[in-house]
């Protein structure tokens, strides 16, 4: 029995190693053939052209810009909502808002994509007078909404863990409730809030299905109202029919994405550790 | 008698207070408004198109009708097969981590791996699942390959929730059982597991939520077919059936066939499922807390 449990205990490690090794093995050949610099910093992706070119800089930059945009829009709203839930909301109101946030987290990404495609894309086209509304801008808004729940719940937990004495001391010195929350509780919970932002970055950079429906999917260099492709959507949109070097290049894109995610995971882990210690 | 005279707040401090308080309420309201808009829009656009025929037939070119029964059954298949595999594995892993493992370093490495697995995007699971299960193991695009991919993806959920509830079982229970002469496994089976059943159930519900909502990992592993499978007619069918889950069907109808009414109807069904899953998880969680 002990051996059996021992094996089960290692299952997560086995899966992580398995995925890493598999991605590295299948991602490296194309990078070797194309050349690391040409692959990472090439600005044209024309995988099906007669003289194919595999530069993924547009995808990398789009993923970075898209994620940054989502963070800029999503973090303030998420952070304020978290502060509201943890410190300001009357219990009865919090009991309504909190389940709403949980529900937002549970909505499948294709549903976000559908709403984005049917409401946001036409609205952006009308409003900014564009030939096609599907753009980086739409993707940023959809991502910002999708990362809200993770930012809210992680920040809220961090804020709730701030010792009550800190706040009482501040109140006793004559600070108002709001001043106490923003000048005492928030700095005390800063590493947890930072962790929530990093978690949001991870979510945004890994999302595929929702943004494939709103970002337009042309391998342009990123521009706010241009049709763009992310690292994730580059893999998803060509996988169905790719073959040969093109297919291997898609695995290499996945490898790049995986390295980004691993980096984010390590940062997240150190932040959470610091909070505990 | 000393009277303490509070100085009135300066204008600047008053403004600071007011503005931030307003922003807090505004952002919370915005979050709720977003949710209400999404649910409302999906229901208004989707619910009118849900009919009994839509739910109980398969798509037919002859009658030019679309039904989603195959997709519903595919989703059920994915949920059931995935749960059957992850339950023993995940609970076993949690038992090892809380009851057996003695080396702290080792436990923290194992927990780090679990967290890492949670952070990996589903499109990567889909890709690796396709390479390994569909091609290397020769399962092709099939629901079984999809389920196995989902196993890798959802196992952290089960491990974490089970671990949490195992930790809440009082140490004295274990000591009492061991003191009465029970072996370690006997003690776990008769004392620890029964008192943490609620946590395991919560884990299952959360996993069902992830499975029902997943799409990127299934796109290349489980296939995109829309016709009926007969899973149970033979073992071969059970392994090789392939087809779209509800989420993948939504994606295909919306992106490739421009059948937006169908897509909204599926979205409405998915929203109802999400609501139900959240509600059940909350009820079970509350029961757990009462203990």
A vs B, Cβ pairs < 8 A, gives 239
Rounded to a whole number of angstroms, the distance from the CA of A213 to the nearest CA of chain B is: 7
pLDDT above 60 (res B1): no
The answer to whether the beta carbons of residues A110 and A135 sit under 8 Å apart is no
pLDDT above 70 (res A186): yes
Interface predicted TM-score (ipTM) of this complex, two decimals: 0.89
- Check CB contact under 8 Å for B216 and A23: no
In this prediction, residues B55-59 reach a mean pLDDT of 81
pLDDT in tens, B77-92: 899 999 999 999 999 9
pLDDT in tens, A83-103: 999 999 899 999 989 989 989
Structure token pair of residue B78? 């994915």
Across chain B, mean pLDDT equals 86
pLDDT above 70 (res B3): no
Q: Does B219 touch chain A (CB under 8 A)?
A: yes
Contacts of A4 in chain B (CB under 8 A): 92
In this prediction, residues B45-67 reach a mean pLDDT of 82
pLDDT in tens, A20-48: 998 999 889 888 888 888 888 888 888 77
- Check CB contact under 8 Å for B35 and A182: no
Regarding predicted confidence, which is higher, A144 or A237? A144
Banded model confidence at residue B289, pLDDT cuts 50, 70, 90: low
- In sequence order, which residues have a C-beta less than 8 Å from that of residue A195 and are 6 or more positions away? A154, A158, A268, A271, A272, A275
Structure token pair of residue B200? 């395991």
Preferred mutation among B127, B158, B164, B212 to probe A, highest tally of A CBs within 10 A = B127
Rounded to a whole number of angstroms, the distance from the CA of A128 to the nearest CA of chain B is: 22
pLDDT above 60 (res A177): yes
Contacts of B220 in chain A (CB under 8 A): 239-240
Preferred mutation among A3, A4, A15, A153 to probe B, highest tally of B CBs within 10 A = A15
In B, residues 88-107, which contact A (CB 8 Å cutoff)?
88-90, 92-93, 95-97, 99-101
Q: Which residue has the tokens 């990123």?
A: A222
pLDDT in tens, B252-277: 988 888 888 889 999 999 999 999 99
| Per-residue model confidence (pLDDT) at position B30 | 93
In this prediction, residues A250-267 reach a mean pLDDT of 90
| Per-residue model confidence (pLDDT) at position B211 | 92
Q: Which residues pair with A174 in a beta bridge?
A: none
Structure token pair of residue A242? 């790719």
- Hey, is B161 helix, strand or coil? helix
Chain A's closest residue to B107, CA to CA, is A9
Structure token pair of residue A173? 């010195």
Q: Does B284 touch chain A (CB under 8 A)?
A: no
Banded model confidence at residue A141, pLDDT cuts 50, 70, 90: very high
- In sequence order, which residues have a C-beta less than 8 Å from that of residue B216 and are 6 or more positions away? A109, A208, A209, A232, A236, B121, B122, B123, B125, B126
| Per-residue model confidence (pLDDT) at position B35 | 93
Chain B's closest residue to A116, CA to CA, is B38
- Check CB contact under 8 Å for A106 and B213: yes
| Per-residue model confidence (pLDDT) at position B10 | 83
- Across A129-133, B206-210, B235-239, least confident range: B235-239
Cα–Cα dist B92/A202, whole Å = 28
Across chain A, mean pLDDT equals 89
């Amino acid at each position: 029995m002990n051996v059996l449990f021992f094996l089960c205990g290692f299952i997560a490690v086995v899966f992580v190693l398995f995925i890493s090794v598999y991605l590295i093995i299948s991602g490296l050949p194309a990078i070797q053939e194309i050349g690391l610099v040409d692959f990472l910093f090439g600005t044209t992706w024309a995988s099906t052209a007669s003289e194919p070119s595999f530069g993924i800089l547009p995808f990398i930059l789009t993923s970075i810009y898209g994620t940054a945009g989502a963070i800029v829009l999503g973090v303030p709203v998420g952070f304020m909502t978290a502060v509201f839930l943890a410190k300001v909301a009357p219990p009865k109101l919090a009991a309504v808002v909190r389940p709403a946030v949980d529900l937002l987290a549970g909505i499948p990404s294709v549903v976000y994509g559908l709403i984005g495609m049917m409401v946001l894309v036409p609205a952006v086209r009308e409003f900014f007078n564009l030939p096609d509304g599907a753009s980086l801008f739409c993707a940023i808004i959809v991502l910002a909404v999708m990362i809200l729940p993770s930012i809210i719940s992680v920040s809220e937990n961090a804020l709730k863990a701030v010792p009550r004495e800190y706040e009482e001391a501040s109140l006793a010195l004559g600070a108002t409730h709001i001043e106490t929350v923003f000048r005492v509780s928030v700095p005390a919970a800063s590493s947890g809030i930072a962790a929530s932002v990093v978690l949001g970055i991870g979510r945004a950079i890994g999302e595929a299905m929702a943004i494939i429906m709103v970002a337009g999917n042309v391998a342009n260099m990123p521009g706010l109202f241009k049709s763009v492709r992310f690292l994730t959507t580059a893999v998803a949109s060509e996988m169905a029919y790719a073959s040969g070097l093109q297919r291997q290049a898609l695995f290499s894109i996945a490898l790049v994405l995986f390295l980004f995610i691993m980096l984010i995971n390590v940062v997240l882990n150190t932040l959470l550790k610091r909070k505990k210690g | 008698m000393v009277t303490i005279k509070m100085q009135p707040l300066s204008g600047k401090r008053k403004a600071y207070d007011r503005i931030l308080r307003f922003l807090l309420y505004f952002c919370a309201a915005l979050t709720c408004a977003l949710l209400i808009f999404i649910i409302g829009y999906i229901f208004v656009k989707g619910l009118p198109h849900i009919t009994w025929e839509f739910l109980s037939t398969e798509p037919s070119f002859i009658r030019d009708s679309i039904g989603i029964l195959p997709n519903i059954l595919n989703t059920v298949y994915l949920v059931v097969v995935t749960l059957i595999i992850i339950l023993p594995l995940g609970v076993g892993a949690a038992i090892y981590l809380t009851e057996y493992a003695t080396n702290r370093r080792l436990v923290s490495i194992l927990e780090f791996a679990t967290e890492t697995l949670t952070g990996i995007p589903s499109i990567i699971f889909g890709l690796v699942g396709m390479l390994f299960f569909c091609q290397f193991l020769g399962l092709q695009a099939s629901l079984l390959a999809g389920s196995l991919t989902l196993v890798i993806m959802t196992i952290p959920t089960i491990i974490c929730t089970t671990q949490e509830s195992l930790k809440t079982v009082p140490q004295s229970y274990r000591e009492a059982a061991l003191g009465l002469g029970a072996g370690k496994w006997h003690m776990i089976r008769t004392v620890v597991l029964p008192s943490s059943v609620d946590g395991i159930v919560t884990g299952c519900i959360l996993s069902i939520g992830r499975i029902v909502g997943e799409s990127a990992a299934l796109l290349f592993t489980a296939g995109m077919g829309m016709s009926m499978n007969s899973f149970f007619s033979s073992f071969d069918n059970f392994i090789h059936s392939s087809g779209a889950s509800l989420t993948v069907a939504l994606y295909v109808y919306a992106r490739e066939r421009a059948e937006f009414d169908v897509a909204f109807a599926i979205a409405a069904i998915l929203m109802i499922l999400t609501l139900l899953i959240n509600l059940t998880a909350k009820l079970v969680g509350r029961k757990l807390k009462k203990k």
